[in-house]
Structure formats: structure tokens, C-alpha cells
Amino acid sequence: MMKNKRDVLLLKIVIFLFALNSLSLCLYQFTSKTSPPSPNNPLNYPTRRNRHLKPWPILPSYLPWSHNSPPAPRSCEAFFGNGFSRRLDPLLPPNPDENPRGWFRCWHSETLRSSICEGGSLRMVPERIKMSRGGEGLEEVIGRREEEELPEFQNGAFEVDGGVGFLGPPRGLVDGEFLDRYVPRGEIAKHTMRDLIRSVRVVTPGEFQCHEWIEEPTLLVTRFEYANLFHTVTDWYSAYVSSRVTGLPNRPKLVFVDGHCMAPLEETWKALFSSLRYAKNFSGPVCFRHAILSPLGYETALFKGLSEEINCHGASAHDLWQNPDDKKTARLSEFGEMIRAAFRFPVNRHHVERPVSGPNVLFVRREDYLAHPRHGGKVESRLSNEQEVFDSLKSWALNHKVCNVNLVNGLFAHMSMKEQVRAIQDASVIIGAHGAGLTHIVSAMPKTVILEIISSQYRRPHFALIARWKGLEYHAINLDGSFANPPVVIDKLSSIMRSLGC
């Protein structure tokens, strides 16, 4: 009898909980459909706008991106993290009691001397942007000049809704003094993002007509050396930082505001962000509920570090969380994990499976391939006897007596981007001549060792710096010319392997 009463009571509890859960679900769906974002907080996105966006992955090296406590100027966080701490409002968001209208703000970095800008109710008019269509197959546009691919913005190429209180006529959003102070040209001859901001006009609601609305947050990116991995990594990093600084709850959509043709590196753009379109592929004026203007890759610490001192060293996020240090950073490790996670590789540093047969030594090769419409298909050799060096290392690996060393032939020009990132992740040692392919070390694991072979013509610090900023062990073999003595390379690699227990 007692058992029956207990069963009835449990059944009533289950029914009650089911009804309560159903009611909660109905209320959630109702409010998510009917609650608009606060006009005073344009980043308060209703759920329905996020349903087509990729979520941010959980990254072991992630640290908060906050505006609450600006980092010290020229600190590692100011260079690599959220140094964009000064807020500027050329067009303030409307107050709660005002009619809806557009807004525009910039976040300025004194350290990097650049700004991340964002706006709401921003209209792009593709016909006012002079450039090639973009997104074509490479074979279709052989011989096309670079000048045709870089955007030239007419006045009003971008417009923002001034609201019912703005009676016109159209006016420029910012003046030359604002641009010189917060989006300076610097050493960049054609600063396309500065030119884009210069083109923005404030217009009346009657002039603000849209052929298409994009409700989800969207990054606007202009690229230069889009087929070069190093320069594209600077663009990826700028886009990632822009997304974090502006507090986007999910990975944004992406629009290329340039006329470049398709390239293999687009695979990673598409993996990192939620979608990709070219500006000239829209059939008419398109309006963005929230657009973010990503600074040029030339304005990142990755590029600026080639010509100015950035005294930073890589450290773990865990250590920096407990003991903050202005001379250390985990941001490049966070970014590398973002790239691996974008391709759905594991990022938990304690559970990434290494090859069970033995350590991988990845030799990054330089190959001939057609990179862009003005490229002849021949890659300049940085290591004149590369094949001889590879063959010698292969023989050394086969005869290694302590460990079963796997020498991986890194023919990246014939591999997908996902396969390249996998090869980097699985490597215990990465070796190669100075070249853009080594930029992949941003995605390397924390204990990976880098060995760069540098000819006398290319004594450049690109990869020594990336290794330092990530906290990777780095070695270099500096050549008198472009010929490497294979026994010297083998001797250096043997020393590295012994330090790894082989």
C-alpha cells in the first residue's frame, strides 16, 4: 500500500516538472522572439539573430577581453590583447526614449596606433566601390592587375541611418582630423580601411533604403597579400581580436571588401567564422544591423614586431591568471587554439594524441604553385639543396636507434589547410627554410620545437618572434649562402631529439 502511494506521488512530481519545463520553454521562445535589443546597448543580441552563427569554442589559453581595466601602454596585453581601450563615439546610440537610428563607435589602441570601429544600421552600396567582383576562380583572372582588386571608395559607399531627428543634407561621419588621430595612415601607402571610414555618410531615414538586411554581426575585412600565409595570418589575427574586443557572443559573419579571387587560404577564413561573402557579390545596397571594421593586418603586433621592439614572451594563461606580467602573453596560444578548434581538432593541451609510433619531425617544404593572378608559378628557393637535405634526414630517421622518428614530408602546396594544421599539431619538431609556410607555428603545441634554416639573403625575424611570443623552443641554422650542409642539419636535429628523450 505504501509503495503504491509512493509511486503515485513520484508520478505527480514527474508530471509537475514536465509541465513546468514546458511552460518555461514557451516563455523563453516567446521572449526571444519579441524582445528587441536595447537601443542603448546595441550589443544585446536577441537569440534569433544567433541561430545561424558558430559558437566560440572553449580554449584552454583564453583570458577575458575586458574594457574595465585597460592594460599599460606597450605591455604585452596592449600589443596582443585588448589594448583597444579608448572609446570614441562619432555617432552615439539613441537613448531609450528616442526613435531607432544608427550608431558608430571606435576603440582606439595607443600602443598599436590603430582602431577597431563598429556601427549599427550601416549600409553598404557596392556600386560605389570601384574594384573587381572578387571570388572568381584563379584561372579566370590570370594577369589581372592588383590595382583592380583593391577597393576605391566613393563618397557614400557606406552610410549610417541618422534617424528621424536628422534632416540632412548627408554629412561625413568623421573628418580628416579624426582619421589622422585614430586611424592614421602611417607607412601604409593605400590604407583601405581608413578610406572606407572616410566614405561613411550620415543620411536621413528616407535615403536609407536597403535591398537586403543582415541581422547577425558581420566583420568587414579588406586584404592585401591575401595569398601569402604570413600576411593572411595577420589578417586572421586582426579579425579574431576585433571580434573579441567588440564582445561578440558568437563567431560573426564575414564580408571581404576587396576584389581578390579565391585562394586556398579561404578554407581557414570559412572555418574560423560563420559565413563568407564578397562585397561585390551582393545585388544591391545591403544593411548591417551590426558591422565591425577589422584593422589591416599590417597594424597587428605580428607585423609591427618586424620593425619595432615588442619585448614579450609566451606564457600559459593559467600562470598569467595567477600572476599577471606585462612582459608575457598567452594571446598567440589562444589564437593558435582557435585555429585548431575551427577545424574541430582537440585543443585540450593535456589530451592531444601524439603519434603512437614515435615523434613526428615535420619538414615544411617550399614548392612551385600558382599563388595569384600576377604569379608565374615559381617559388623562389631559400634552400638550394632542399631535396638533398630532406633525403639525408629521411635516411637518418630510418636508422635512428633510440626512437622511431617519423619524418613528415610537408608538401603544403598540395595539402588542404585542415591537413596542414593537423600536420603542425602532430609535430614534435618543425623544421624548414625561412618561408611563409612556417607561420603555421602559431598553431603548434606548447612543447613543439622549431628549427629554422636561414639563408644569408633572408635573415628576417618572423618565426623567431612568433616562437618567442608563443613560448616555443626555437633554434636557427644560419647559412653563408643558400646551401645547407646535411650533416650540420642532422647534428642540430639530433641534439634537439636527445633533449626530447630520443
SS3 of 464-479: the string is HHHHHHHCCEEEEEEC
- pLDDT tens for the chain, 502 residues long, are 444 555 545 455 445 434 434 443 343 333 333 333 333 345 555 445 566 899 999 999 999 998 888 999 999 999 999 899 999 999 999 888 788 899 999 999 999 999 999 999 999 999 999 999 999 999 999 999 999 999 999 999 999 999 998 998 999 999 999 999 999 999 999 999 999 999 999 999 999 999 999 999 999 999 999 999 999 999 999 999 999 999 999 999 999 999 999 999 999 999 999 999 999 999 999 999 999 999 999 999 999 999 999 999 999 999 999 999 999 999 999 999 999 999 999 998 555 555 567 899 999 998 766 678 888 666 777 899 999 999 999 999 999 888 999 999 999 989 999 999 999 999 999 999 999 999 999 999 999 999 999 999 888 899 999 999 999 999 999 999 999 999 999 999 999 999 999 9
Extended beta strands in 180-309, E state: 201-203, 212-214, 218-221, 253-256, 276-278, 286-288, 291-293
Output the CA–CA distances (angstroms, integers) from residue 67 to 26, 38, 107, 148, 298, in the order listed: 36, 20, 10, 39, 23
Q: Identify the CA nearest to 329 among candidates 315, 349, 339, 340.
A: 315
pLDDT attached to residue 44: 54
The CA dihedral of 22, 27, 33, 36, to the nearest 10 degrees, is -150
The CA radius of gyration of the chain, in Å to the nearest whole number, is 26
pLDDT attached to residue 312: 98
Q: Identify the CA nearest to 44 among candidates 266, 270, 278, 290.
A: 290
Query: CB-based contacts of 237: which residues, under 8 Å, 6+ apart?
Result: 297, 300, 302, 335
* Residue-by-residue DSSP string for 281-308: GSSS-EEESSEEEPPPGGGSHHHHTTTS
Instruction: Write down the pTM of the prediction.
Output: 0.89
Pair 53, 216: CB distance under 8 Å: yes
Output the CA–CA distances (angstroms, integers) from residue 357 to 186, 188, 354, 401, 405, in the order listed: 51, 49, 9, 14, 8
Which amino acid is residue 118, in one-letter code? E
Query: CB-based contacts of 29: which residues, under 8 Å, 6+ apart?
Result: none
Q: Which three cell numbers stand for residue 445?
A: 603545441
- Dist. CA 361–CA 366, nearest whole Å: 16
Q: Identify the CA nearest to 36 among candidates 96, 89, 124, 91.
A: 96
- Dist. CA 88–CA 92, nearest whole Å: 9
- Dist. CA 180–CA 197, nearest whole Å: 12
Query: CB-based contacts of 63: which residues, under 8 Å, 6+ apart?
Result: 81, 317, 320, 321, 330, 331, 334
Cα first-last separation, the chain? 72
Q: Identify the CA nearest to 43 among candidates 286, 295, 287, 252.
A: 252
